[in-house]
Amino acid sequence: MHRAGMLLLLVALAGCEDKRNPAEVRDDVQTFSLRANWSATAAPVSSTVSGALAIKQYLGFRMDGTMTITGAPGASYQWRIFKGDCATNVAAANNTAPTGLVLFETIQSYPDITTNTSGAGSVVRTIAGSLDSLTTYSVRIRLSQSATNWNGLTPIACGNLQRAAP
């Protein structure tokens, strides 16, 4: 009787196949719901360069952003999102410091933008990350430089990000 029960249990377990695939990758936008919209208008700071950033933040640690810049024709610009608003003018001591500017994500998240003959340029970018609704952020622009380690100080344009519900 004991053997018959064990055999029946093994047959029952063999019939229960796990149909889920834990390694499945989901990258379709419809899979992740829109969590928030973020936007900023970067006003000139001692320049005539301006810009605008629009971000759609999705569940799943993903943001789709569009950055546009208006500046000199044929010029190349760097842009970055920093923790801290445009009034903040000191670099943070480290990434966990409560005050000062801290780069959001890595420099690889922000390709340079080169303007066309009319002085307009844009880039569409997917950034792995999630902005915190309780933190202030700014988008900062400067002329492209070979040194990519930029602490956010002395931007030529800056705008504070504003969060809106989806």
Which pLDDT tens digit goes with each residue over 35-54?
A: 999 999 999 998 999 999 99
* In the block, residue with structure tokens 């969590």: 35
- Domain covering 38-149+156-164 in this structure, CATH number: 2.60.40
The model's pTM is 0.80
At residue 166, the pLDDT reads 87
At residue 149, the pLDDT reads 83
Domain ranges within the chain, ordered by starting residue: 38-149+156-164
Q: What is the DSSP string of 35-102?
A: EEEEEEEEEESSSS-EEEEEEEEETTTEEEEEEEEE-STT-EEEEEEEES-TT--SB-SSTT-SSSBE
Which pLDDT tens digit goes with each residue over 147-158?
A: 768 999 999 999
Note the Cα 61 to chain centre separation in Å: 9
At residue 9, the pLDDT reads 46
Q: Measured between alpha carbons, how far apart are the two ends of the chain, in Å?
A: 62
